Amino acid sequence: MHRFANPTRFVALARAVQPWAMTIALATLFAGLWFGLLASPPDYQQGETVRIMYVHVPAAWMAMFCYTGMAGASAVALVWKHAVAHVTARATAPIGAAFTFLALVTGSLWGKPMWGTWWVWDARLTSVLILFFLYLGYMALENAFDDRARGQRAAAILAIVGAVNVPIIKFSVDWWNTLHQPASVVRLDGPSIHPSMLTPLILMAVGYTAFYIWVLCLRVRADINMSKVRALKLRNA
């Protein structure tokens, strides 16, 4: 078995981390949802709808975190030609896209009672939407080649180009938004946050991160096993 299909140490690490990540994810997500949905007080301004925030805000954080991770892994993959880094970046993309999608949907659900409409061209929603397209582009490019190595190299370059662009896009969207829509709406991050709301928020953030690590381990191992299978088929061909 040649090197590409056999990054043994990484697989061993992923196998060891996976049950821990799963346990932490399930425990903190359960606790976070219980605190967030049942055991915390409604907001004095937003009422019960504030509970969407516990799902929404950490998802938006994860959307950024996953993109950063993806771009970082891509840079490692290109500079040091490390096969596992490619696999990590590739495995991160759909998870990040799912978090981004969750942030968009919950943002929209929150917008209906707060703003009276499903979609508002709020600066944050708009930049998250564009981030979602960046994820889609990455995944589409990665899968657009018959030669998998080509796809992952091209996608790695795109991830880095995208990462350089994210702050520029964010800046321009903020600028555009303040021009077109004076910031009169209630922001998701209110003035200051009460500890009873902070607890579920932090629990959910930890839970999402652990969930990400759990699914990442799973996906990386599956991906490596798939390439082992392909390599074996090619050897026997």
Token reading at 89: 């970046």
Question: 228 exposed, middle or buried (CB, 10 Å; 0-12, 13-18, 19+)?
Answer: middle
Please report, as residue ranges, which positions from 31 to 90 form the binding site for other proteins (by CB under 8 A).
Answer: 78
Nearest Cα residue to 7 out of 232, 225, 234: 225
Residue 193 makes contact with other proteins by CB under 8 A: no
- In whole angstroms, give the CA distance from residue 208 to residue 59: 7
Report yes or no: 200 and 57 within 8 Å, Cβ to Cβ.
Answer: no
78 vs 85 by CB, closer to other proteins: 78
Chosen residue from 20, 118, 121, 133 binding other proteins by CB under 8 A: 133
33 vs 134 by CB, closer to other proteins: 134
215 vs 220 by CB, closer to other proteins: 220
* Minimum distance, C-beta of residue 4 to other proteins, in the bound complex (Å): 6
Residue 147 makes contact with other proteins by CB under 8 A: yes
Q: What string marks each residue from 5 to 34 as x (binds other proteins by CB under 8 A) or -?
A: x-----------------------------
Residue 13's alpha-carbon distances to 47, 158, 218, 222, in angstroms, are 45, 28, 11, 14
Residues 6+ apart with CB under 8 A from 81: none
* Minimum distance, C-beta of residue 82 to other proteins, in the bound complex (Å): 13
Residue 200 makes contact with other proteins by CB under 8 A: no
Instruction: Indicate the helix (H) or strand (E) that contains 73.
Output: helix 52-80
Report yes or no: 95 and 212 within 8 Å, Cβ to Cβ.
Answer: yes
43 vs 223 by CB, closer to other proteins: 223
Residues found near other proteins in the complex (CB under 8 A): 2, 4-5, 78, 130, 133-134, 136-137, 140-141, 144-150, 153-154, 157-158, 160-162, 164-165, 168-169, 171-173, 175-176, 179, 227, 230-231, 234-235
